[in-house]
Amino acid sequence: MLYKRIKKRTWEILNTARRGDYPAIFFQWFMLALILLNVIAVVLATVRSINQQFNQFFNWFETFSVIIFSLEYLLRLWSCTSVPGRGPIWGRIKFLFYPMTVIDLLSVLPFYLPLFGMDLRFLRILRMFRIFRLAKIGRYYQSLNLIRNVFSDKKDEIVLSATIMGVLLILSASFLYYLENEAQPKAFSSIPAAMWWAVTALTTVGYGDIYPITPLGKFVASLIAISGIGMFALPTGIISSGFVEEIHKHKREHAEASEEVDNNITCPHCGKQFNHEEIKKE
């Protein structure tokens, strides 16, 4: 019984930081600070002069961080079965493949792979996985869930706008290929090659390395560039409206929860909570 209580309490500390739960709150802020310091260390370590001067400190801090992240990963894997309906074997197997659990693994994986004699060239690529520690913030900073909720609520609109943008990209590249291929066989050698110009035109970046020179090509390119402004404003407007709706929803839920707490009265003898309306009825 004590074993189950410890496991449940461990899971609560690792995942929920309720008001007044100081161990969970301390753990949440400690992990947030550690993640941010890790990202700063990864960025600064790429500066050769700083890396040469503080290389030993970076190695020590990396080892310390990996130990903390590894303990956190193992504790999550151990305590995840305290959730009702999650079995000791299949529950843990399913938990291993949750997106945030995979991110937890990727954040420590580059540290352990050299112990197994991995190719150094491959390890240099894997070292960039340390930046995945930044994604762990979403686990501890609940406000970042706002982004996930927005994209989840607006996924149909985002997919639709992305499809329209993809169609416009193909059409733009095709038009310019047929209009400019004879005049510029190297720059517009194929439709896939013309897509580079279409991307820079639709995004209004315009590097200037590829551009139409025929009169008809210039005219069509002008229309494409103007339409690109409107096309990229479409998903921006969708996401912006989603953020506004989600923020209002969050504020409304917070206000309702606060009002519900204010309406409750706690009995000084038994600790049971009563609502003002229930007391009036009685």
Token pair for residue 265? Answer: 């009265």
* Separation of alpha carbons 68 and 31, rounded Å: 9
* Separation of alpha carbons 81 and 280, rounded Å: 43
Token pair for residue 226? Answer: 């103007």
CB 130 within 8 A of CB 107: yes
Residues 6+ apart with CB under 8 A from 137: 32, 35, 36, 144
Domains, in order of start, for the chain: 2-140 (1.20.120.350), 155-266 (1.10.287.70)
Whole-angstrom CA distances from 76 to 28, 132, 239 are: 14, 18, 33
What is the model's pTM? 0.61
Helix 99-112 to helix 48-79 angle (10° resolution) is 130
Helix 215-262 to helix 145-153 angle (10° resolution) is 120
One digit per residue, the tens of pLDDT, for the chain of length 282 reads: 788 888 888 988 888 767 778 888 888 888 888 888 888 888 888 898 998 999 999 889 989 988 998 999 999 999 998 888 888 888 888 989 987 888 888 778 877 877 776 655 555 555 566 666 666 666 665 566 677 788 888 888 888 888 888 898 899 999 999 999 888 888 888 898 888 888 888 877 767 778 889 999 899 988 888 888 777 778 888 888 888 888 888 778 767 766 654 555 555 545 455 555 554 555
Token pair for residue 110? Answer: 């580059």
Please, which residues bridge with residue 275 across strands?
264
Closest by CA position to 179, among listed 226, 215, 208, 203: 215
